[in-house]
Amino acid sequence: MTTLPDRPADARKLGLVIDLDVCVGCHACVVNCKEWNTGSDYGAALSDQDPYGPDVSGAWLNRVHSFEVIPEGGEIVGEAGEARIVHFPKSCLHCDDAPCVTVCPTGASYKRAEDGIVLVDEQKCIGCGLCAWACPYGAREMDLAAGVMKKCTLCIDRIYNETFEEADRVPACVRTCPANARHFGDLNDPASAVAVMVAERGGIDLMPEQGTRPVNKYLPPRPRKPLAAAAAEPDTGGATGFFAWLDGVLDRF
């Protein structure tokens, strides 16, 4: 059923927290996501078209974009400047008001009542592509070989898999991240590690104006000192003892 489920206020909201201050843009999460979801039994394998040719393309459920942010009044001088690069991993945000679910004509697209994960029942999907149009985040990609829509399952075949070690019962992207920029948990439990992180760092929603109420949260990059501060004359006024003496001696030369 593609109407959204009525969920109690305390229902679990499984999702990801992505730390933009930590992500180094290595694409390991992208590759491990592709690998897991191509080998997994959950749904059709993620196909590639022209995989060894010049026009390679394929279905991926997680992609890392890189952005340049130029602060208000920031200087750009040649290659050095106050612009900073932010690596930006993007996958399904498992929205509370998921527009991809309600537009689905067949009932293939659905949001689970028990944990809020948004999934596609590939046996019902006709591959019309309307859900991908409805998603403002580009979280859904058509698998051109299977003719069905693919999306992040939050690794539903890992997180509930009791044959796995406890540490492995997290999405593949979270497990593989070498920088620990990705975190998984119940965003609706204020005591969970992810909820605490969001509260402490001021986690944000992407495109709140779209009214989708995403579950996944992004932790903004921490502020940096302005470039001018780093280039300024270092202040040695606080030196004491030997260093104060050395400072005085060197000043006299």
Partner 1 sequence: MHPAASIIVFTTFSGLGYGLAAILGLGLVDPSSVAVKAAYVASLGLIGLGLLSSTLHLGNPQRAWRALSQWRSSWLSREGVMAFATFVPLLWSGFAAVVEGRIAFVAGALGALLAAVTVYCTAMIYASLRSVEAWHTRLTPLCYLLFAAAGGALAAAFAAVAAGQPARPLLVLALALLVAAWTAKAFWRRRLARPGQGSTPETATGLGAIGRVRLFERPHSTENYLTREMGFRVARKHAAKLARLALLLGGIAPALALLAALAAGGGALAAALLGLALLSHVLGMLTERWLFFAEARHAVMNYYGG
Angstrom distance (rounded) from CA 115 to CA 133: 25
Name the one range near partner 1 by CB under 8 A: 123-131, 162-170, 172-180, 186-194.
123-131
The residues pairing with 190 across neighbouring beta strands, listed in sequence order, are none
Count of chain residues binding partner 1 (CB under 8 A): 72
Q: Cα 75 from chain centroid?
A: 29
Q: Cα 218 from chain centroid?
A: 7
* Residue in 28, 64, 196, 227 binding partner 1, rule: CB under 8 A: 64
Paired sense of beta strands 217-219 and 14-19, if any: parallel
* Residue in 19, 115, 141, 186 binding partner 1, rule: CB under 8 A: 141
Binding of partner 1 by 16 (CB under 8 A): no
* Residue in 120, 125, 173, 215 binding partner 1, rule: CB under 8 A: 125
Per the CB < 8 A criterion, the answer to whether 10 and 107 are in contact is no
* Residue in 5, 129, 190, 248 binding partner 1, rule: CB under 8 A: 129
Q: Provide, rounded to whole angstroms, the least separation between the CB of residue 221 and partner 1.
A: 7
Sequence-distant (≥ 6) Cβ neighbours of residue 17 within 8 angstroms = 182, 183, 184, 185, 187, 194, 197, 198, 203, 216, 217, 218, 219
By C-beta, is 143 or 159 nearer to partner 1? 143
Binding positions for partner 1, 41-60, rule CB under 8 A: 55-60
Q: Provide, rounded to whole angstroms, the least separation between the CB of residue 197 and partner 1.
A: 15
Angstrom distance (rounded) from CA 151 to CA 79: 38
Name the one range near partner 1 by CB under 8 A: 8-16, 147-155, 188-196, 237-245.
147-155
Binding of partner 1 by 37 (CB under 8 A): no
Binding of partner 1 by 179 (CB under 8 A): no
Per the CB < 8 A criterion, the answer to whether 1 and 107 are in contact is yes
Per the CB < 8 A criterion, the answer to whether 113 and 52 are in contact is no
Angstrom distance (rounded) from CA 138 to CA 93: 10
Q: Provide, rounded to whole angstroms, the least separation between the CB of residue 110 and partner 1.
A: 10
Binding of partner 1 by 127 (CB under 8 A): yes
Binding of partner 1 by 142 (CB under 8 A): yes
Binding of partner 1 by 207 (CB under 8 A): yes
Binding of partner 1 by 96 (CB under 8 A): no
Round the CA-based radius of gyration of the chain to a whole number and report it. Answer: 23
